[in-house]
Structure 1
């Protein structure tokens, strides 16, 4: 374990303290040189294992811990959980040679605020430090886009309603039912067969979880009222309306 005593004049702005957790001495040296070259950050310690990292956290209370995924004693994802459990004030950036598509999301779920590839660290390390200490998540643009698209897709699935499952043609049939038209009339208006309209009605009942044709008619009429904000008066008498 290598710890560094930091003496800074009180008149100077305190440099943010960084702990490096990596079991490759050459990699640690490169990171330390890069970070210390920036006047805003200073490496306060280097360790090569998870137990030493947890011990150093207690001694140093760093602002950021940079953690390699592949450690000899344990993996960096598990260590990230341990570091976050020990101190919520220390942000964690996970670095790895492994594909971010495999580990980035796992790192975030474990409590990390950033993930970067080692081969890009020399260009992006300071940017990542700035980002996480500003309270933001740091990921590559490609990974951000992937996670955002997944979030939007999952949100759309969660917020979908039965009416969202209806096709455009089924919606036409539903609206015409709500206006009071019967199966044959709808078939004539849409230039389709009666059998096809019957099929659409069955699809609508299934998608809307409506047991009977009467339930479908009532749903269609109510939907028309809701859309138009009109009182419950049908423009046409519904003599043929309940069809099976």
Structure 2
């Protein structure tokens, strides 16, 4: 039986809202779905109650920048955010994922992909389409194709635990709570991990881990 899902759709196109609602209700029949047509209304509704997931069109009136992710998380820090947009992936995906979105889905993708993306995000995994994967690889790996051979990939068991949680999209506080450590300790581990793998954010780390330590993705 599918889990109950409290979901908000921030989207100003009625047909898209109808399609998303129909698909989600089919696979999550106990869903509580709220639909709003502007970002400011979404902010207001988020203050009114808890949501497991927000499906966000970044071109909704009142939005349009990666700061939308920060604004939503200031109200509910653990809300999952799946971007669903008609804007080109190659121009927008990386910046929104870097800002903290849990997934990025093109409106040009097949409709069945929506449920795949929702399930990924609700399972604390990043949803990255094959197209986005190629974009990230081209942006972050191509200039350093051989550099990973020179780096120190000796990591402790504690660092492996932190890496796995980072790759699930967990925030520093969430990792600290789960591992029963101080946030400062996790921040220190995170800094060392980024230094060892020569990366600056979890997306780059994901791609690098996939190349050199894929066992940490399981």
Common topology (TM > 0.5): yes
Residues in 2 aligned to 1:121 and 1:66: alpha-carbon distance in whole angstroms: 16
Q: With the length of structure 2 as denominator, give the TM-score of the two structures.
A: 0.61
**1:41-65: CA deviations, max 9, x gaps?**
6242111111111111122311110
Q: Does 1:31 align with 2:39?
A: no
From 107, 113, 119, give the equivalent of 1:124. Answer: 113
Q: Secondary structure at the match of 1:119?
A: coil
Bigger Rg, structure 1 or 2:
1
From 1, 4, 12, give the equivalent of 1:15. Answer: 4
Q: In the alignment, what sits opposite 1:114?
A: 103
Aligned-pair CA distance for 1:13 = 6.5
Kindly tell me: are residues 125 and 100 of structure 1, through their superposed partners in 2, closer, same or farther at Cα, counting changes over 3 Å?
A: same
Off by >6 Å, runs of 4+ in structure 1: 157-161
Q: In the alignment, what sits opposite 2:124?
A: 135
Aligned-pair CA distance for 1:146 = 2.7
Kindly tell me: are residues 43 and 31 of structure 1, through their superposed partners in 2, closer, same or farther at Cα, counting changes over 3 Å?
A: farther
Q: Which has the higher contact order (CA 8 A, sep 6+)?
A: 2
Aligned-pair CA distance for 1:155 = 5.5
Kindly tell me: are residues 130 and 23 of structure 1, through their superposed partners in 2, closer, same or farther at Cα, counting changes over 3 Å?
A: same
Residues in 2 aligned to 1:57 and 1:26: alpha-carbon distance in whole angstroms: 23
- CA RMSD after TM alignment: 2.4
**Residue segments in structure 2 that go unaligned for 5+ positions in a row:** 151-218
Q: In the alignment, what sits opposite 1:78?
A: 67
Q: Does 1:103 align with 2:92?
A: yes
Q: Does 1:48 align with 2:59?
A: no
**1:64-93: CA deviations, max 9, x gaps?**
100002112222633222112221211101
Q: With the length of structure 1 as denominator, give the TM-score of the two structures.
A: 0.55
Residues paired across the two proteins, number:
150
Kindly tell me: are residues 41 and 35 of structure 1, through their superposed partners in 2, closer, same or farther at Cα, counting changes over 3 Å?
A: farther
**Residue segments in structure 1 that go unaligned for 5+ positions in a row:** 1-11, 162-244
Aligned-pair CA distance for 1:145 = 2.7
From 47, 72, 77, give the equivalent of 1:88. Answer: 77
